[in-house]
Amino acid sequence: MKPSQSPSAQVTEAWRRHRPYLVNLAYQMLGDVGDAEDVAQEAFLRLSRADIDSIDDVRGWLTVVASRLCLDQVRSARARYERPGEIDEVPAPRLDPADRVTLDDEVRAALLEVLRRLSPGERVAFVLHDVFGVPFDDIAETVGRPIGTCRQLARRARAKFTATQPKLTDVASAEHQLVAEKFITACANGDIAGLTAVLDPAVWGVGTVLADPAPPPQINHGPHAVATNLLRYLGPEVTLVSGPAGQPAVLAFADRRLFAAIVLTIRDGLVTKIEALADPLARAGA
């Protein structure tokens, strides 16, 4: 950011550049997009009260603040979960045939089940290092533990996570996370140029709708057609996050409800194929 900008303008620019990343980071730790949005909001509120000109790395500062907020929330939730008589669980779906199990229900329940296998320290260390590539010395400062302990926490979390997600090791997670972040930020800002920049010249996309009867899949070819169609559904009013632990998917939320899952096929740092599964009733709030 330019030093000549006013503090309020610098915060606004930071919001545009870093909020999608911060929501994504918090979501990976908390498993709830509403909580993740609240954490990002609080982190930026604290940034607005800080002396932003004295902060050398705004993104790093926000990462530390958001991670500590997540750590406090996870510790609090774990204490409630482990306290007899106050079990904090995802409510079981009612057995009324009129109820509809949504994409949101399934994904959220699966993610929370995996996250609950991890202690608060394991969860934060694993997400920061394995998903977002934060160095262990920075993680140590965030969680208030020695570097060696943070390495052990991440190692234990990795073992627990891969035990339930065997395909994780097949994914070039660092490459995927980098491309997914660019994809998410471009969509969040309605930036068609930024979006086409991460699409392969031969990219094609296919969208399938969960409906009965289901309409024919929508297929688009080429960066401009694919990007234009994506921004019709994944623009600034939608919250996008990566799949759990940086898996090759992007999840789309509207009004804090998951309405679409987008699988990205990535090669040489570019998206070559996009497969989307959308639940229009979830988008409509049904």
- CATH 3.30.70.270 describes domain 170-284: no
- pLDDT value for 228: 94
Give the model's pLDDT for residue 111: 64
CATH number of 7-81+106-162: 1.20.140.160
Domain ranges of the chain: 7-81+106-162, 170-284
Residue 70 in tokens: 């997540």
> What was the pLDDT predicted at 87?
38
Task: State pTM to two decimals.
Answer: 0.78
Task: Give the residue ranges of the chain where pLDDT is below 70.
Answer: 1-4, 78-114, 162-173, 212, 245-247, 282-286
Query: What pLDDT, on a 0 to 100 scale, did the predictor assign at position 142?
Result: 83
Residue 218 pairs with which residues in a beta bridge? 207
pLDDT score for 44: 97
DSSP string, the chain: --TTS-HHHHHHHHHHHHHHHHHHHHHHHHS-HHHHHHHHHHHHHHHHHS-GGG-S-HHHHHHHHHHHHHHHHHHHHHHHHHSTT----PPPPP--TT----HHHHHHHHHHHHHTTS-HHHHHHHIIIIIT---HHHHHHHHTS-HHHHHHHHHHHHHHHHHH-GGGGGS-HHHHHHHHHHHHHHHHTT-HHHHHTTEEEEEEEEEEE--SSPPPPEEEESHHHHHHHHHHHSSTTSEEEEPGGG-SEEEEEETTEEEEEEEEEEETTEEEEEEEEE-HHHHTT-
124-144 confidence digits (pLDDT tens): 888 888 878 888 998 988 888
pLDDT of 169 = 40
